[in-house]
Chain A
């Protein structure tokens, strides 16, 4: 007699069969307001850029990066002229302040810059998953491919902002602390100040393009976990591993496939005429990494169960 003894799954009766509810039925299924169709809008991208650049942690990363040229500039200014060796371009700073920008980029490239990108990239998807905001974004709805594209676009913007910031702070501070004017390039030729700033812009773009590959790797790793810190650490570790492998001569065969291999190739842009071979190689490798890890991130994210 007990209801609980009824076979599981038995129903009291179909809800639909129990007669129409005393409310608007199928015939009056109308939308409360007329709705315009989908539109192409940059609102989500702008929102995402705001999330990335207003986040205190990311701002601190940019401050640390901007601190590098300050540190180098002040150190070189205070040190005795011609004191010892150092990273590339360091000894050129006292002759032309603009080289502070190049020296700073050389210093941030191995660790600081990839680390900052790893933090932002690793957080991209896993951070939203951990907070649970991902499920609300997806039910808005935001298509998963679209969300990934917007996340990556904001990531590339951060790469660009980070490199341009280091270059700009280096150039401005270099102009304040050291002499400026025509600069002697690595090839020995002299070019004007304006031309050298143009070269600096190209270098910043090239470095940002290299970092975009780190960003793509980080974005993929970020789709694998709901723990942002794990994604950040993994991405940063991969950047370090790539450079370690690059420094082992016995592994020469794989060097040109490593995403960090061509990073310092930006020096080629400071020759006259510009030697493009290495830079093009670097851009190519970066593009391949972006394509591969972008596809992996897409494949993973669009098929993933969002249960956070």
Chain B
């Protein structure tokens, strides 16, 4: 990171139109309607701040991959705009994409070539890659994902986890300013998942912006600074992790021999989502103080056997935003 490169970069930026939002990834009303008429992505305004790790969450089929394909110019948007690293896409793909490492919808390589040869092909395709240092670059990328020992093995002999690692290695062939990782831990064992997480943390610490898509909140929760939640083609929520956490509503649980009375009292106190479970009653705490609720229950003559406050659970927020069940969204 020398001053001269910074100057070079800011000069080259001078020609591009200034955007209202300065972020690594910005979309405005991004929409994709497939030829069949299906609305896969519906007017989303994505904002991935510079240097952030953005967890792009949503159930399978919610439009995450379609969005990512539009970001990198693989498919054309029906409506809306994409700005990657401050420049409109796909118009400036040639200038932007060399600075973007992408893993899109799982690994895809030539089965009869070795892992090394597959990366060599991608490296050869890169016009700004220095040919003389190609071998060192490929070895370094493979080493980073722990695949160096298997570099001469044919890709078809790779396990799913190894394939996933190879795809991540491909994204790391060059130093990147933005990494777009679509379900990067798919098929990895817990050890591999941890490795990928620390890899992302290391890259983010170096200033790389990361867009990390996943259908599992637990997977991104620990590394993300920001979260966006997709549901049926819409971005239903977006903000910093703290903001999402603030949406999580704590609940109370009352153990009592008179659940009807407890439930009625909770309802009288204005608590929502009051439900009876055998000898217990649960309710969303809302803005009420748990101490006050407990005292009110006792005053109302509820024989309180137990009183607990269940803290905010991000997973619940996620499920609330995207709905429950096994149905893929549509």
In the complex, the chain A residue whose C-beta lies closest to that of B126 is A140
Q: How far apart are the CA atoms of A10 and B243 in the complex, in Å?
A: 13
- Encoded as 1 (CB less than 8 Å from any A CB) or 0, chain B from 91 to 122 comes to 00110011110101110111110000000111
Given contacts A3-B247, A21-B49, A26-B50, contact A44 B320 (CB under 8 A): no
**Residues of A contacting B317 with CB < 8 Å?**
3
Stretch at the interface among A32-40, A107-115, A182-190, A206-214: A32-40
- Encoded as 1 (CB less than 8 Å from any B CB) or 0, chain A from 1 to 23 comes to 11110101111111110111101
**Residues of B contacting A24 with CB < 8 Å?**
50-51, 207
Given contacts A21-B52, A305-B74, contact A32 B206 (CB under 8 A): yes
Tell me whether B51 and A23 are in contact (CB under 8 A). Answer: yes
Tell me whether A9 and B234 are in contact (CB under 8 A). Answer: yes
**Cβ contact of B131, chosen from A13, A41, A51, cutoff 8 A:** A41
**Closest Cβ–Cβ distance, residue B298 to chain A (whole Å):** 24
Q: How far apart are the CA atoms of A297 and B319 in the complex, in Å?
A: 45
Tell me whether A14 and B47 are in contact (CB under 8 A). Answer: yes
In the complex, the chain B residue whose C-beta lies closest to that of A25 is B50
Q: How far apart are the CA atoms of A51 and B120 in the complex, in Å?
A: 12
Given contacts A1-B249, A137-B122, A140-B97, contact A15 B47 (CB under 8 A): yes
Q: How far apart are the CA atoms of A35 and B99 in the complex, in Å?
A: 10
User: In residues 213-237 of chain B, which contact A (Cβ within 8 Å)?
Assistant: 225-226, 228, 231-232, 234-237
**Residues of B contacting A9 with CB < 8 Å?**
43, 234-236
Q: How far apart are the CA atoms of A51 and B112 in the complex, in Å?
A: 10
Given contacts A9-B234, A38-B127, A141-B93, contact A132 B108 (CB under 8 A): yes
Tell me whether A12 and B47 are in contact (CB under 8 A). Answer: no
Tell me whether A34 and B8 are in contact (CB under 8 A). Answer: yes
**Residues of B contacting A47 with CB < 8 Å?**
120-121, 124-125
Give the interface residue-count category, chain A. Answer: 35 or more
Interface-central residue, A21, A37, A135, A137, by most chain B CB under 10 Å: A21
Given contacts A1-B284, A43-B131, contact A141 B47 (CB under 8 A): no
**Closest Cβ–Cβ distance, residue B203 to chain A (whole Å):** 11
**Closest Cβ–Cβ distance, residue A226 to chain B (whole Å):** 12
**Residues of A contacting B204 with CB < 8 Å?**
23
**Cβ contact of B109, chosen from A12, A26, A44, A131, cutoff 8 A:** A131
Tell me whether B72 and A139 are in contact (CB under 8 A). Answer: yes
**Closest Cβ–Cβ distance, residue A154 to chain B (whole Å):** 13
Q: How far apart are the CA atoms of A10 and B228 in the complex, in Å?
A: 11
Given contacts A3-B247, A136-B122, contact A37 B128 (CB under 8 A): yes
- Encoded as 1 (CB less than 8 Å from any A CB) or 0, chain B from 129 to 171 comes to 0110000000000000000000000000000000000010010
A-B CB contacts (within 8 Å), total count: 204
User: In residues 222-265 of chain B, which contact A (Cβ within 8 Å)?
Assistant: 225-226, 228, 231-232, 234-240, 243-244, 246-247, 249
In the complex, the chain B residue whose C-beta lies closest to that of A141 is B97
**Cβ contact of B320, chosen from A4, A20, A26, A132, cutoff 8 A:** A4
Tell me whether A44 and B239 are in contact (CB under 8 A). Answer: no
Q: How far apart are the CA atoms of A15 and B246 in the complex, in Å?
A: 14
**Residues of B contacting A13 with CB < 8 Å?**
238-240, 243
Tell me whether A30 and B235 are in contact (CB under 8 A). Answer: no
**Closest Cβ–Cβ distance, residue A122 to chain B (whole Å):** 17
Tell me whether B23 and A133 are in contact (CB under 8 A). Answer: no
**Residues of A contacting B69 with CB < 8 Å?**
135, 305-307
In the complex, the chain B residue whose C-beta lies closest to that of A127 is B110
Tell me whether B6 and A30 are in contact (CB under 8 A). Answer: yes
Tell me whether B75 and A34 are in contact (CB under 8 A). Answer: no
Given contacts A1-B272, A21-B225, contact A12 B75 (CB under 8 A): no
In the complex, the chain B residue whose C-beta lies closest to that of A18 is B240
Q: Does B313 contact A (CB under 8 A)?
A: no
**Cβ contact of B74, chosen from A32, A34, A306, cutoff 8 A:** A306
Q: How far apart are the CA atoms of A139 and B167 in the complex, in Å?
A: 13
**Cβ contact of B127, chosen from A20, A41, A139, A303, cutoff 8 A:** A41
**Cβ contact of B94, chosen from A36, A131, A135, A143, cutoff 8 A:** A143
**Cβ contact of A28, chosen from B1, B74, B98, cutoff 8 A:** B1
Q: Does B303 contact A (CB under 8 A)?
A: no
- Encoded as 1 (CB less than 8 Å from any A CB) or 0, chain B from 15 to 51 comes to 0000001110000000000000000000101011111
- Encoded as 1 (CB less than 8 Å from any B CB) or 0, chain A from 141 to 169 comes to 11100000000000000000000000000
Residues on A lying within 8 angstroms of B by beta carbon are 1-4, 6, 8-16, 18-21, 23-26, 28-39, 41, 43-44, 46-47, 51, 55-56, 131-133, 135-143, 303, 305-307
Residues on B lying within 8 angstroms of A by beta carbon are 1-2, 4-6, 8-9, 21-23, 43, 45, 47-52, 54, 69, 72-76, 85-86, 93-94, 97-100, 102, 104-106, 108-112, 120-122, 124-128, 130-131, 167, 170, 175, 177, 204-207, 225-226, 228, 231-232, 234-240, 243-244, 246-247, 249, 272-273, 284, 286, 317, 320-321, 323
Please name the 5 residue pairs, one residue from A and one from B, whose CB atoms are nearest each other, closest first: A132-B108, A23-B51, A12-B239, A141-B97, A32-B175
- 20 sampled A-B residue pairs with Cβ under 8 A: A1-B284, A4-B321, A8-B232, A11-B238, A12-B237, A15-B23, A18-B226, A19-B240, A24-B207, A30-B2, A34-B8, A36-B130, A38-B128, A131-B110, A133-B110, A136-B170, A141-B98, A143-B94, A306-B69, A307-B74
A8-B236, A24-B50 given; 12 more Cβ-contact pairs under 8 Å: A3-B321, A8-B231, A12-B244, A15-B54, A16-B47, A18-B226, A29-B50, A34-B2, A39-B128, A132-B105, A137-B122, A305-B76
